[in-house]
Chain A
Amino acid sequence: MPAIEVVDLVKVYETYRKRPGLLGSLRGLFHRERIYTAAVNGISFSIDEGELVGFLGPNGAGKTTTLKVLSGILYPTGGDAKVLGHVPARRQKEYQKQFALVMGQKNQLWWDLPARESILLNKEIYEIPDGEFDRILGELSDLLEIGDILDFPVRKLSLGQRMKCELVAALIHNPKVLLLDEPTIGLDVVAQKNIRDFIRRYNREKKTTVLLTSHYMEDISQLCERVIILDAGRIIFDGRLDELIRTYAPQKVLTVTFAEGMPAESRFERYGELIEFGPYKAVMRVPRERIKQVAAQLLASDFPVDDILISEVAVDEVVREIFQTRAGKG
């Protein structure tokens, strides 16, 4: 049985258009123009137990809305969503005890007090027995290497330390499903890596089902084998990362390093699409079916080739191109 199952999910927001200026405000007292926006527009997917899936998409694509529906915060306008066999919108306590939500841009920790106090509050909310609480807290503290930062007021912690404490507070009840909404946002590269390492290890060791949204491609490419790409409330891709690259990147990247001298730029144009040309390096995009042939031709040529590297197009580039193409069509 899948851990998460979503069928034709729709979520429409109702808002008002506010006219500018004093006159607009006065008009707004008597008449408001209602606007309906479909943040999620008929999406379907299912996620198996223990899977770690990345949700990708530009701002307003519907990623966070989907997460909020799955956590029971929002009522769906249409369609069905089930997590661990529960309908999230019913907000059943049995379900709420089995999942956790972490939002990088919001916090559940009490600002003026040590994080430990907020975690103790969650102990009461989730009715965790003393022994189990101590064990899980010890495990998480070790995994996240947080030492004694739980005893410092939250406002005194760095963003990275705070996110670690948020994760402890969210995971203290040992959830089966973890919904992460941009958990690395605003963090420096070291802190991002620490959080990523933790998520990977936690997923492997606990077999927790993880659904992750992030603006950082690095998060997705490092953690997720499968990605779901959303755009304007619809799924435009659902599959493995390597499949995404094969589907949307018909070319590979070929990097040639020269030992000496510099051949003329124009001499490379016949091999592929030149995307970078420096004193000792040329980078080009070459159709997959021609890549071996081009590499062989370069080696056999009179260019002072020192090294040749063939790689896939970077995932973020692929995704950027998908959205740029779609925006262009739109």
Chain B
Amino acid sequence: MSDFRVLKKHFRVWRRLSFLAIGSYLSSRIDSATFLLGKLIRFGFFLLLIVSIFRFTKTMAGYTQYEVILFYLTFNLIDVFAQAFFRGIYLFKNDVLRGNFDYVLSKPVNALFYSMSRLTDILDIVFLVPIVLLIAYTTWRLPAPVTAANVFLYLLFLCTGMLIVLGIHILSASVTIWVIESENFIWLYRETMTVGRFPPEIFSAPVRFVFTFFLPIILIVAFPAKGLLGLLSGPWILFALAYAVAFFFLCLALWRVSLKKYSSASS
């Protein structure tokens, strides 16, 4: 089958899965509305906190108010994007435990793709719109002018950041297959990601080292923002690109191994 046909097929499957997810959401309207409201409140309050802090200081770790807001919005963009499109992983443990993953494995569809996108979160997709608009506004309010190269680096590191996040989700699914009782891996990622809400310079050097090389939250969130602000040097750019690609393929290899180890739930 040609690559284009495979891509087309998977797009059609994703579209159908999204319709199913939207159908499920619409069947529980009150639940969905409170979920969205909760997200907006959490998002708004943290933004308000940043604005409040800057009533008492002009900079935070050398960054101005709008620069700090850019880090926060970039964190939200990546976090919400992952939740919108990879939400299926949150159901993965249940699918494995109940044996429903057996059906996925027996069908002519990429099992990883299916498991990740089996619950596209339409509410998070809706939430992405104000985030993107706020990023555009914040970029316009930045103290230094933003060049086309900076915008390119921002988009490039958003992609590499998403690649690492995708890798983490694959790792989480692999761990679930290996150690079925574990579902906390993905929550470890979610909690750790909150580190990226602020510029990394507020942390000490050892903490930054850990969050760059071992738990690469700084690569995921801070690098796009720094790219937009023109603060990244050539070697760091190359390192981040190499890290993202290597990390992703390592996670993919682990997934393949874990599929061989899959023992299925007993009937």
Spell out A's residues near B (CB within 8 Å). Answer: 13-14, 64, 68, 71-75, 91, 93, 96-97, 99, 101, 103, 105-108, 110, 112-113, 117-118, 120-122, 124-127, 153, 181-182
Binds A, one of B48-56, B82-90, B196-204, B257-265: B257-265
In the complex, besides A73-B262, A126-B108, 20 extra interface pairs with C-beta distance below 8 angstroms are A64-B266, A64-B267, A68-B264, A72-B105, A73-B264, A74-B262, A93-B108, A101-B103, A105-B99, A105-B267, A106-B98, A108-B100, A110-B20, A113-B27, A121-B16, A121-B17, A124-B16, A125-B13, A126-B107, A182-B267
B106 touches A106 (CB 8 A): no
Q: What CA separation (Å) do A91 and B260 show in the bound complex?
A: 11
The residue that B106 contacts in the complex, of A14, A72, A124, with Cβ under 8 A, is A72
B102 touches A121 (CB 8 A): no
The residue that A101 contacts in the complex, of B15, B24, B102, B262, with Cβ under 8 A, is B102
Q: Across the interface, which residues of A come within 8 angstroms of B260, CB to CB?
A: 75
**What's the nearest-Cβ distance from chain A to residue B22, in Å?**
10
**What's the nearest-Cβ distance from chain B to residue A223, in Å?**
20
Q: Does B1 sit within 8 A of A, measured CB to CB?
A: yes
Q: Across the interface, which residues of A come within 8 angstroms of B267, CB to CB?
A: 64, 103, 105-106, 181-182
Decide yes or no: A106 and B100 within 8 Å by CB, A113-B23, A124-B13 being known contacts. yes
Q: Across the interface, which residues of A come within 8 angstroms of B13, CB to CB?
A: 121, 124-125
Q: What CA separation (Å) do A179 and B20 show in the bound complex?
A: 27
Q: Does B61 sit within 8 A of A, measured CB to CB?
A: no
Spell out B's residues near A (CB within 8 Å). Answer: 1, 9, 12-13, 15-17, 19-20, 23-24, 27, 98-100, 102-103, 105-109, 260, 262-264, 266-267
The residue that B24 contacts in the complex, of A99, A103, A113, A127, with Cβ under 8 A, is A113
Counting chain A CB atoms within 10 Å of each CB, the highest count among B9, B105, B260 belongs to B105
Q: Across the interface, which residues of A come within 8 angstroms of B17, CB to CB?
A: 121
Q: What CA separation (Å) do A105 and B267 show in the bound complex?
A: 7
Counting chain B CB atoms within 10 Å of each CB, the highest count among A13, A64, A106, A122 belongs to A106
A13 touches B108 (CB 8 A): no
The residue that B108 contacts in the complex, of A14, A103, A106, A125, with Cβ under 8 A, is A125
A107 touches B106 (CB 8 A): no
**What's the nearest-Cβ distance from chain B to residue A173, in Å?**
9
B24 touches A110 (CB 8 A): yes
The residue that A103 contacts in the complex, of B19, B102, B263, with Cβ under 8 A, is B102
A91 touches B16 (CB 8 A): no
Closest to B19 in A: A117
**What's the nearest-Cβ distance from chain B to residue A133, in Å?**
13
The residue that A13 contacts in the complex, of B1, B12, B263, with Cβ under 8 A, is B263
Closest to A94 in B: B108
Q: Across the interface, which residues of A come within 8 angstroms of B102, CB to CB?
A: 68, 71, 73, 101, 103, 106
How many A-B residue pairs have C-beta atoms within 8 angstroms? Tell me: 82
Q: Across the interface, which residues of A come within 8 angstroms of B1, CB to CB?
A: 93
A127 touches B9 (CB 8 A): yes
B105 touches A112 (CB 8 A): no
Closest to A63 in B: B267
Q: Across the interface, which residues of B come within 8 angstroms of A71, CB to CB?
A: 102, 105-106
Q: Across the interface, which residues of B come within 8 angstroms of A120, CB to CB?
A: 16
**What's the nearest-Cβ distance from chain B to residue A78, in Å?**
14
Q: What CA separation (Å) do A112 and B28 show in the bound complex?
A: 10
**What's the nearest-Cβ distance from chain B to residue A69, in Å?**
10
Q: What CA separation (Å) do A117 and B15 show in the bound complex?
A: 12
A124 touches B98 (CB 8 A): no
Closest to A60 in B: B266
Q: What CA separation (Å) do A267 and B160 show in the bound complex?
A: 90
Q: Across the interface, which residues of B come within 8 angstroms of A181, CB to CB?
A: 267
**What's the nearest-Cβ distance from chain A to residue B32, in Å?**
13
A106 touches B16 (CB 8 A): no
**What's the nearest-Cβ distance from chain B to residue A88, in Å?**
9
Q: Across the interface, which residues of B come within 8 angstroms of A125, CB to CB?
A: 13, 107-109
B106 touches A101 (CB 8 A): yes
- Sample of 7 A–B contacts (CB below 8 Å): A14-B263, A64-B266, A73-B105, A112-B24, A113-B23, A120-B16, A125-B107
Q: Across the interface, which residues of A come within 8 angstroms of B9, CB to CB?
A: 124, 127
Counting chain A CB atoms within 10 Å of each CB, the highest count among B108, B262, B266 belongs to B108
The residue that B99 contacts in the complex, of A91, A103, A122, with Cβ under 8 A, is A103
A113 touches B20 (CB 8 A): yes
Q: Across the interface, which residues of B come within 8 angstroms of A93, CB to CB?
A: 1, 108
Q: What CA separation (Å) do A99 and B263 show in the bound complex?
A: 21
A112 touches B103 (CB 8 A): no
**What's the nearest-Cβ distance from chain A to residue B2, in Å?**
13
Q: What CA separation (Å) do A113 and B25 show in the bound complex?
A: 11
Q: What CA separation (Å) do A182 and B266 show in the bound complex?
A: 13
Closest to A68 in B: B264
**What's the nearest-Cβ distance from chain B to residue A126, in Å?**
6
B103 touches A106 (CB 8 A): yes
Q: What CA separation (Å) do A74 and B19 show in the bound complex?
A: 31
Q: What CA separation (Å) do A71 and B17 show in the bound complex?
A: 23
A96 touches B23 (CB 8 A): no
Q: Across the interface, which residues of A come within 8 angstroms of B108, CB to CB?
A: 93, 96-97, 125-127
Counting chain A CB atoms within 10 Å of each CB, the highest count among B15, B100, B103 belongs to B103
Closest to B17 in A: A121
Q: Across the interface, which residues of A come within 8 angstroms of B266, CB to CB?
A: 64
Q: Across the interface, which residues of B come within 8 angstroms of A14, CB to CB?
A: 263
**What's the nearest-Cβ distance from chain B to residue A24, in Å?**
15
Q: What CA separation (Å) do A152 and B244 show in the bound complex?
A: 45
